Amino acid sequence: MQFIDMFAGIGGFRTGLENAGHTCVGYIEIDKFARQSYEAIYDTRGEFTAYDIQKVQGGELPSAKIWTFGSPCQDISIAGKGLGIVKGKRSSMFFEVIRLLKERIENKKTLPTYLIMENVKNLLSSNRGWDFTRVLFEMGKVGYDAEWSVLDSAQVVPQHRERIYIVGHLRTASSRKVFPIEGQNTATFEGSKVETVGHYGEKRHQSSIVYDPIGTSPTLSATDYKHPVKVAVKQVGQLWKGGSFGGNPQRGRVYSTAGASPTLGTMQGGGLEPKIVVKPCLTPDRIKKRQNGRRFKNNDDPSFTITVEDRNGVMIANKGEIAIRKLTPLECWRLQGFSDEQFYKAKQAGVSDSQLYKQAGNAVTTKVVEAIGRKLYEVNKY
């Protein structure tokens, strides 16, 4: 099916749906750096595009079976100011999508069969649940019945990231349900428990709790670029393209230690190679920063959610000494399901590391969208 990618960012929805066999016919994104990455990654020739959704008219959009959107969540997120979807300037962009649908109805234009909306889990409880009720009400007024589910990215990538996905079904289209996604609520990603194993720093409060992760990162966010993420992820690779740095193939090498991936600097023989234990940690340079009271994680745990503000990294215990490194922008992109090729296209287009961090935190996890896209394909075969 054809789809329009609204609030496109770097194309988390697009990558997921294209991987599931669907086709993008248009995209809307106002951030110039996100557009820079988006247009470097995808072949957008001949597609409809616009910068500001507030200046788009419903009648000018191309026909498409699916509209995707994840309107800005800052006014709904627990980390935000709690203004909600109505009063919040950014989160109220949801109503622009409703406006476009109303304009298509008025102009007797074809409506999409499906609306796919993504937002933070807190949408369910924002303003005591009235924000979520308003979303369902507004979809209903323009002819859509909604189903929804909270999906955790840890089921498909090594990142704990709970998000609500709402699928609106056009009543006149008699479409079949999408949820539950096959495998939902099962251990598709091994190990999701969280256990305290120690503390970081002197203060024994929730911001300094030490956890022990294997293979999973915290939730990424869009403000991570301010304080680069410090947590472990499960991956093996090379930080520098080409496999070496300064002529030394050992430098920049990413190793896998029972699922965690520290970057090891090597000694020159004599048994001096570091012997390490790796734990993912969250913004260790900011003692008061934590997610749900956690600073570190256990082996086999999903990582913290990648956010805009937090920074994830790796705590390395080396013969009693502790060292920490940040996740690279490439690792953050991987945690959202983007390929290395996509990352390097954006990087080579001149996008800065700070923006690459931010873009990863703002993105939708591509693998989750792909699962939804494949289910859409299945239910439309009949």
Q: Are residues 203 and 176 in the same domain?
A: no
Q: Are residues 207 and 165 in the same domain?
A: no
Q: Are residues 62 and 177 in the same domain?
A: yes
Which amino acid belongs to residue 112?
Answer: P
- Please report, for the domain that includes residue 14, its CATH number: 3.40.50.150
Please state, in angstroms and rounded to a whole number, the distance separating the CA atoms of residues 360 and 328. 11
Q: Is residue 342 part of a domain?
A: no
Q: Are residues 177 and 216 in the same domain?
A: no
Q: Are residues 176 and 319 in the same domain?
A: no
Q: Is residue 203 part of a domain?
A: yes
Q: Is residue 10 part of a domain?
A: yes
Q: Are residues 36 and 179 in the same domain?
A: yes
Residue 74's Cα: distance from chain center in Å? 14
Please state, in angstroms and rounded to a whole number, the distance separating the CA atoms of residues 3 and 62. 9
Please state, in angstroms and rounded to a whole number, the distance separating the CA atoms of residues 184 and 359. 27
* Interior angle at CA 135, CA 50 and CA 74, nearest 5: 65
> What pairing do the DSSP bridges indicate for beta strands 237-238 and 253-254?
antiparallel
Residue 298 DSSP symbol: -
Half-sphere exposure of residue 322, counting CA atoms within 13 Å on the CB side? 12
Which amino acid belongs to residue 17?
Answer: L
Q: Is residue 343 part of a domain?
A: no
Q: Are residues 251 and 294 in the same domain?
A: yes
Q: Are residues 228 and 164 in the same domain?
A: no
Please state, in angstroms and rounded to a whole number, the distance separating the CA atoms of residues 178 and 291. 31
Q: Is residue 316 part of a domain?
A: yes
Please state, in angstroms and rounded to a whole number, the distance separating the CA atoms of residues 234 and 220. 15
Q: Are residues 208 and 183 in the same domain?
A: no
Neighbours of 322 (CB within 10 A): 14
Q: Are residues 201 and 263 in the same domain?
A: yes
Which amino acid belongs to residue 325?
Answer: R
Q: What is the pLDDT of residues 242-300, one digit of tens each?
A: 544 444 443 444 433 443 333 222 233 333 333 344 567 777 666 566 676 677 776 56
Q: Is residue 103 part of a domain?
A: yes
Residues 6+ away with beta carbon under 8 Å from 74: 80, 81, 88, 90, 91
- One-character DSSP codes across 313-328: EEEEEETTEEEEEEPP
Residues 6+ away with beta carbon under 8 Å from 300: 190, 191, 192, 193, 213, 214, 215, 216, 259
Please state, in angstroms and rounded to a whole number, the distance separating the CA atoms of residues 185 and 188. 8
Q: What is the span of the domain harbouring residue 45? A: 2-187+364-379
Q: What is the pLDDT along the chain (382 residues), one digit of tens a residue?
A: 999 999 999 999 999 999 999 999 999 999 999 999 999 999 999 999 999 999 999 999 999 999 999 865 454 444 445 455 555 445 578 899 999 999 999 999 999 999 999 998 888 887 888 888 889 999 999 999 999 999 999 888 888 888 999 999 999 997 889 999 865 443 333 333 333 333 334 444 333 333 334 445 667 666 654 544 443 333 334 444 554 444 444 344 443 344 333 322 223 333 333 334 456 777 766 656 667 667 777 656 777 777 777 777 766 655 555 556 677 889 889 989 999 999 999 999 999 999 999 999 889 999 999 999 999 998 887 6
Q: Are residues 144 and 42 in the same domain?
A: yes
Q: Is residue 98 part of a domain?
A: yes
Alpha-carbon torsion, ordered 126, 129, 135, 141, to 10 deg: -150
SS3 (DSSP) at 59: helix
Domain count for the chain, please give it: 2
Q: Are residues 18 and 166 in the same domain?
A: yes
Q: What is the pLDDT of residues 313-346, one digit of tens each?
A: 766 655 555 556 677 889 889 989 999 999 999 9
From the candidates 24, 73, 281, 332, give the one annotated as an active-site residue: 73
Helices marked H in 190-257 — which ranges? Answer: none
Q: Is residue 356 part of a domain?
A: no
Q: Is residue 281 annotated as part of the catalytic site, yes or no?
A: no
